[in-house]
Every structure is written in C-alpha cells, then in structure tokens.
Chain A
Amino acid sequence: EAGVAQSPRYKIIEKRQSVAFWCNPISGHATLYWYQQILGQGPKLLIQFQNNGVVDDSQLPKDRFSAERLKGVDSTLKIQPAKLEDSAVYLCASSFGTGGFEQFFGPGTRLTVL
C-alpha cells in the first residue's frame, strides 16, 4: 500500500513570496489533514478535510494560508505572502475516518523563509 505522498520535500523562499505544497493521501482515505510543525514543537493542525469539505480550519491563518481538496483526493496548501515565522515542516496526513482512526503521515515539506 502506497503511503501519503508530499512534494516538494524542501523549499527555500524569501519573505513575501508565495509557495504551494501538494499532498496525495492514501487511496480510500476520506479524511486529510495539514499540520505545521515548528522546530522543537509538536505538529499543529492547520486544516482538516472530510472528502472535499472543510471540517476544521480554526487554526489556519486565513489571511495568508489557503488550502483546497478538489475532487476529495489530492490537496494543496498555499502560503501567500510568506513570513519568516512560517519556516516549519508542513505535514500532510490522511485517515480512513475521523476521531479515533489512525492518521498516516507523509514525509513532510521543510519550508525555510529567508
């Protein structure tokens, strides 16, 4: 079974530039999550999709972050414009259901904002 795929693995940009990350979840997983993990901290949920609908985006900085999951499969997360404090690893995860279902994580995208 293929795991969660993410690209790119690394990205370096200057502040005020824009950047986009892509995620392909495990086939058949209805729920998709984007997390931000700042160095020395645990992952923090940014947005959760159930199929192509948003379940929870309460911690997404909506002035600069946006995400979509068209057709309920792949997802993209965009930052525009980026700030220095956005430097982090962005993790995508998927699960068959919600709540107690195990979440499977991708390898993450390490973003550095200069």
Chain B
Amino acid sequence: DQQVKQNSPSLSVQEGRISILNCDYTNSMFDYFLWYKKYPAEGPTFLISISSIKDKNEDGRFTVFLNKSAKHLSLHIVPSQPGDSAVYFCAASAGETSGSRLTFGEGTQLTVNP
C-alpha cells in the first residue's frame, strides 16, 4: 500500500529553468509534508516542509505547494542550478506534533544540465 507516490522516477531540466517535482498521497490523515534531497553516498537532507493548514511555503529558490482536495503537492525550484541535481523524496506525516512516522515516496532523480 503505497500511501505516498512520486510517479516520475526522473526529470531533466536546463540550468536557469524551473524544476517541478510532483507527489501524490492517499492517506487523508497526513497533515505535514516534507521534501528531502539526497546526493549519492549521503543520507537525505531536509529541504522544505509544509503544514496542511497552508497551501504554499517558500524558502529562497524552493517553493512547496499543497492541494489538499487533490491530495497533491509539488516542489518548484526556480531557477534550477546544476548543484540541485539529486534524488528528491517527498514524505508525509499524520501528526505534526505527535510521534507519527514519516512515509516516503519512491524519489525523483532530478538532473539539471548546464
């Protein structure tokens, strides 16, 4: 039962353009969402998060959008840089302040070409 899905295994964009990574979820109890970035041979690092009471959160070049009715979130990177090339994981939690576990998607490999 894959509760968090990232349907695009890979995405390739040109430097300077926008990267849009998508994530869908099925569990309506999820109320906190995170994006992690992972470079080869390293552990995932936290990028940005959003609570279900918001529909947008922005941090520099990174913006996460949440559409609760569609159970969909997306990560926008503008402008994309070659150093952004990594695997991006979407994760969800069913309790912002509880001990609920994070459920991760399968990841999307982003390649930013110079």
CB-CB under 8 A from B89, the residues of chain A are 42-43
CB-CB under 8 A from B97, the residues of chain A are 98-100
- The interface size of chain A toward B, counting residues with CB under 8 Å, comes to 24
How many CB-defined contacts (below 8 Å) exist between A and B? 65
**Interface SS majority for chain A:** loop
CB-CB under 8 A from B86, the residues of chain A are none
A82 within 8 A of B: no
B104 within 8 A of A: yes
B95 within 8 A of A: yes
Contact count band on B: 20 to 34
Would you list 23 pairs from A and B whose C-beta atoms are within 8 A, ordered by A residue? A4-B43, A31-B99, A40-B9, A40-B106, A42-B4, A42-B6, A42-B89, A42-B91, A42-B105, A42-B107, A44-B104, A48-B99, A50-B99, A56-B101, A91-B44, A93-B43, A99-B97, A99-B100, A100-B49, A100-B93, A103-B102, A105-B36, A105-B44
Which B residues are within 8 Å of any A CB, using their own CB?
Answer: 4, 6, 9, 32, 34, 36, 41-46, 49, 51, 89, 91, 93, 95-107
